[in-house]
Amino acid sequence: MMPKHCFLGFLISFFLTGVAGTQPAHESLKPQRVQFQSRNFHNILQWQPGRALTGNSSVYFVQYKIYGQRQWKNKEDCWGTQELFCDLTSETSDIQEPYYGRVRAASAGSYSDWSMTPRFTPWWETKIDPPVMNITQVNGSLLVILHAPNLPQRYQKEKNISIEDYYELVYRVFIINNSLEKEQKVYEGAHRVVEIEALPPHSSYCVVAEIYQPMLDRRSQRSEERCVEMP
């Protein structure tokens, strides 16, 4: 039988060897502000370095899962990345499912604990860009043609759908009379072709548009101004 003092020495040696081999997690390495940023269902996981990290001295490891699943999945493209973001668009393409992401950091052989996002549901949280707008002059009127923002390529190729298949979208069009510095809303509705009629000649106008989502009571930013001179 091993003497008591030898057995105790063995346990201490084993414990220290195990700790040295795996390195303890360091709270100061733990990634901060881990969250999803989503525009038009482009879902990007972002984070900030831990307090102890500066420069490019660390690498990061990303995992994700659907709410309710026990098993986390590795994101291979972001396994050992030096970036502070990871594109999880393909992994979070079921837009009404809630997801989690998490990140851990490694530096000089030490590893942080995992930092996890709040629950993320793309349908609720993605932000819609303003509409793309084209303007044509027709017999003293302006014909405004609006396009909803594009979805990621995967949606367009595999599902052949647009963002209008997921939300009720209301388009708002505003015209600005540059000489009077006056803005007026000229349209609000679901149509994507809007005619602004009876504009006085020899005047300068700018047009802007935005998208409103009634179900979420949310509006996009405004589009860039498109300006024209009426002949």
For the chain, the domains span 25-124, 132-230
Q: What pLDDT is recorded for position 46? A: 98
Domains 25-124 and 132-230 share a fold: yes
* Structure confidence by residue, pLDDT tens digits, 144-173: 999 999 888 766 555 667 889 899 999 999
Please state, in angstroms and rounded to a whole number, the distance separating the CA atoms of residues 166 and 161. Answer: 9
The model's pTM: 0.80
pLDDT of residue 187: 97
Topology of domain 132-230, CATH: Immunoglobulin-like (2.60.40)
Enclosing H/E stretch for 228? strand 226-229
Q: Which of 130, 129, 128, 127 is nearest to 208 (CA)?
A: 130
Q: How far apart are the first and last CA of the chain?
A: 105
**Topology of domain 25-124, per CATH?**
Immunoglobulin-like (2.60.40)
Residues of the chain with pLDDT under 70: 1-25, 53-56, 154-160
Q: Could you give the CA distance from residue 73 to residue 85 in angstroms, rounded to a whole number?
A: 17
